[in-house]
Amino acid sequence: MRIFRHFSDVPPPLRGAVVAAGNFDGVHLGHRALIGEATRQARAAGVPMAVLAFEPHPQEFFRPSPESFRLTPLRTKARLIAELGADAFFALPFDAAMAARTADVFVREVLVEGLGVSGVVVGEDFVFGKGRGGNLQTLKDEGALHGFSVTAFHTVLANAGEKISSTRIRDALKAAHPQEAAKLLGRHWAVEARVEHGDGRGRLMGFPTANMHLGHCLAPAFGVFAVRASIVENDQVIERHDGVANFGIRPMYEVTVPLMETHLFDFDGDLYGKHLSVELVEYIRPEMRFSGMPGLIAQIAEDAQQARLILAKCPRLPTLDG
Where do the CATH 3.40.50.620 domains begin and end in the chain? 2-153
Contacts for 300 with CB less than 8 Å, ≥ 6 apart: 205, 207, 244, 263
For residue 70, pLDDT over 90 is answered with yes
Supply the pLDDT for residue 142: 98
Supply the pLDDT for residue 321: 44
Supply the pLDDT for residue 204: 62
Confidence label for 269 from pLDDT (cuts 50, 70 and 90): confident
Where do the CATH 2.40.30.30 domains begin and end in the chain? 188-313
Q: What is the mean pLDDT of residues 283-302?
A: 90
Confidence label for 41 from pLDDT (cuts 50, 70 and 90): very high
**Entry field: residues in the chain:** 322
For residue 316, pLDDT over 60 is answered with yes
Supply the pLDDT for residue 252: 64
254: Cα within 13 Å, side-chain hemisphere: 0
Percent of the chain with pLDDT over 70: 94
The angle at the Cα of 293, spanning 289 to 297, to the nearest 5 degrees, equals 90
The angle at the Cα of 146, spanning 142 to 152, to the nearest 5 degrees, equals 45
For residue 270, pLDDT over 80 is answered with yes
For residue 162, pLDDT over 70 is answered with yes
Supply the pLDDT for residue 322: 44
Helix (H, G, I), strand (E, B) or coil at 157: strand
For residue 200, pLDDT over 70 is answered with no
Q: What is the mean pLDDT of residues 34-45?
A: 98
Q: What share of the chain is helix, strand, coil (3-state, %, to 5)?
A: 35, 25, 40
The angle at the Cα of 267, spanning 71 to 276, to the nearest 5 degrees, equals 20
What is the three-state SS of 163-225? ECCHHHHHHHHHCCCHHHHHHHHCCCCEEEEECECCCCHHHHCCCCCEEECCCCCCCCCCEEE
Supply the pLDDT for residue 147: 97
Q: φ, ψ for residue 36 (rounded to 5)?
A: -65, -35
pLDDT in tens, 115-158: 999 999 999 999 999 999 999 999 999 999 999 999 999 888 88
Q: How far apart are the C-alpha atoms of 169 and 187, rounded to whole Å?
A: 12
Q: How far apart are the C-alpha atoms of 19 and 106, rounded to whole Å?
A: 14
Tell me the residue type at 126.
F
pLDDT in tens, 204-237: 676 888 999 988 899 999 999 999 999 988 777 8
CB atoms within 10 A of CB 127: 15
- What is the model's pTM? 0.90
| Fold that domain 2-153 belongs to in CATH | Rossmann fold (3.40.50)
Average pLDDT, the chain: 92
The architecture (CATH level 2) of 188-313 comes to: Beta Barrel (2.40)
